[in-house]
Amino acid sequence: MDEQKKIINYLINPINLKDLLKKIVYWKKNKYAHYICVSNVHSCIESYLNQTFKVAHNSADLAIADGRPIYWALKIFGAKSAEHLPGYYITEKICELANKKNLKIVHLTNFNQRYDGRLFYNTSKRLNNGFISLNHAVLEISDRDETHYNKSLNDLNGEKKLNQKLINVCKNFKPDLILLGHADKIKLKTLEKIKFDFPNIKISQWFLDPITKNGPDYNKNKKRLLDKFSILDATFITTHPDVIDFIKNKDKIFFIPNPVDQSIDNLNISKNKAHKFDVFFALSHGVHRGILKKGKLDNRTKILDLIYNNKKIKSNFFGYKDKQPIWSNSFLNELSKCKLGLNLSRGKPVKYYSSDRIAQFMGNGLPTLIDYNTKYKDFFTNNEAIFYKNNNELIKKILFYKDKPNLLMKIGNNGKKKYHKYFNNKLVCEFIIKKNLNVKYKKKFYWEI
């Protein structure tokens, strides 16, 4: 913060909003008593005419530029860091600051601890990191690991132990929020007991799998989503709620994008000029299984066949034609060898649904091919992603872009910047918290179009 500037007869601090709020937080943390003057032209003249007013004003711990002429004067005096800080605006920001609370969160989902890092790069980890980055205390429970390691003759699948663990954690930790991610082994009656014992705890879930009628495993995923829906304060899905046909009242169901995490998604693939392949795609027959299942069909192979059989295109496909899936760092290494990534999810394309591969692709700067029918053009331009309307157009666009390295670099870089700016894990976690706590906000999140 620059030194105070004297304007006629009183002193003004050339300060910006960020530094002002930091200063207020510091004072609060150290329990110091201070006062701030919100200074305008009228108070400037008053301090010239009234000695008592002048002393009171100049004795303030901070005096900020409320009036625009005061702000202009600071700029004339060379205060580069100064910002115009109107009183109404500062009051609103201080109220927002006062409303912020460090929450205690129980995040119960599959953290895949027993797979020794093979499944580290997942949404569970990205969300967890997001909450921690927002300074919330997060207690993780890896439900699938808990049940796997706690099977017994009295508890054949380990679910009794898991459900009791959640109850015990709530008694000891007393969380503000329980967030479930695909937590199929948690029983509704367990949550009902927790709500009865601790009525102020918020409970919600996130769900990443396709849940539309023309998608895979429709009945199974519908049942999973609705299993605990009645007791939840909110549900977050990676499909737009408008296309969900089995929930009439959608006041408690919200779209979230697949988040990126700057500590995980940090490659700049588009800047690599030594790509060996034109297009990348990887599928699996289940992340936990890890290998292909004989006889299992996937409708996406028809599209992959068109690309693979085109002699002008060098494909780098995994989980296809008996080539086993790849995971973790091997996945990133193979991704980095390619010019383009095909964002192809199971089932018929619907509004905003995508698997988390879109975050892995765009978050790491890989120019990404996206089906037009996902409506992701609501979020990204042709300078940030590559859209196709049918299989023929997909082939044409691969052939068109694959030999244009400068254009691909531009698209990959722009896409990464946009995705990290608007779809990062901190923003997604902030959205989840605000919806759970019914916090009102004026500025919508980018995906709330």
pLDDT, position 261: 98
* Other CB atoms within 10 A of residue 222 CB: 18
Calculate mean pLDDT across residues 211-220. Answer: 91
Query: Given the structure tokens 């700016």, which residue do they identify?
Result: 421
The per-residue pLDDT for 213 is 87
Q: Please state which CATH number belongs to domain 269-421.
A: 3.40.50.2000
Do 82 and 73 form a contact (C-beta atoms < 8 A)? no
User: What dihedral do alpha carbons 93, 96, 101, 102 form, nearest 10°?
Assistant: -50
Q: What is the mean pLDDT of the chain?
A: 94
Q: How much is the pLDDT for 92?
A: 84
Tokens standing for residue 58? 């100049």
Range name among 159-163, 185-189, 211-215 with the lowest pLDDT average: 211-215
Percent of the chain with pLDDT over 90: 83
Q: What is the mean pLDDT of residues 63-71?
A: 92
Could you tell me the pLDDT band of residue 156, with boundaries at 50, 70 and 90? Answer: very high
**b/e 84-121 (16+ beta carbons within 10 angstroms → b):** bbbeeebeeeeeeeeeeeebebbbbbbbbbebeebbbb
For the chain, the structural domain boundaries read: 5-99, 104-255, 269-421
Confidence of residue 294 (pLDDT cuts 50, 70, 90): confident
Q: How far is CA 366 from CA 267, 288, 413, in A?
A: 9, 26, 8
Share of the chain above pLDDT 70, in %: 99
Residue 1: predicted pLDDT: 55
Query: What is the radius of gyration, based on Cα positions, of the chain?
Result: 27
211 to each of 94, 234, 238, how far by Cα in Å? Answer: 41, 17, 9
Where does 104-255 sit in CATH, by number?
3.40.50.2300
Partners of 5 in beta bridges:
12
Arithmetic mean of pLDDT, 252-278: 96
Q: What is the mean pLDDT of residues 183-197?
A: 98
Same fold, 104-255 and 269-421: yes
For the chain, the distance separating the N- and C-terminal CA atoms, rounded to the nearest angstrom, is 38
> pLDDT-derived band of residue 217, with 50, 70 and 90 as boundaries?
very high
Residues 256, 250: Cα–Cα separation, whole Å: 14
User: Distance between CA atoms of 98 and 80, rounded to whole angstroms?
Assistant: 28
Structure tokens at 282: 């990887």
The pLDDT assigned to 9 comes to 83
Res. 19: pLDDT tops 80:
yes
Once rounded to an integer, what is the mean pLDDT over residues 194-207? 97
pLDDT of residue 2: 66
Residue 442 confidence (pLDDT): 85
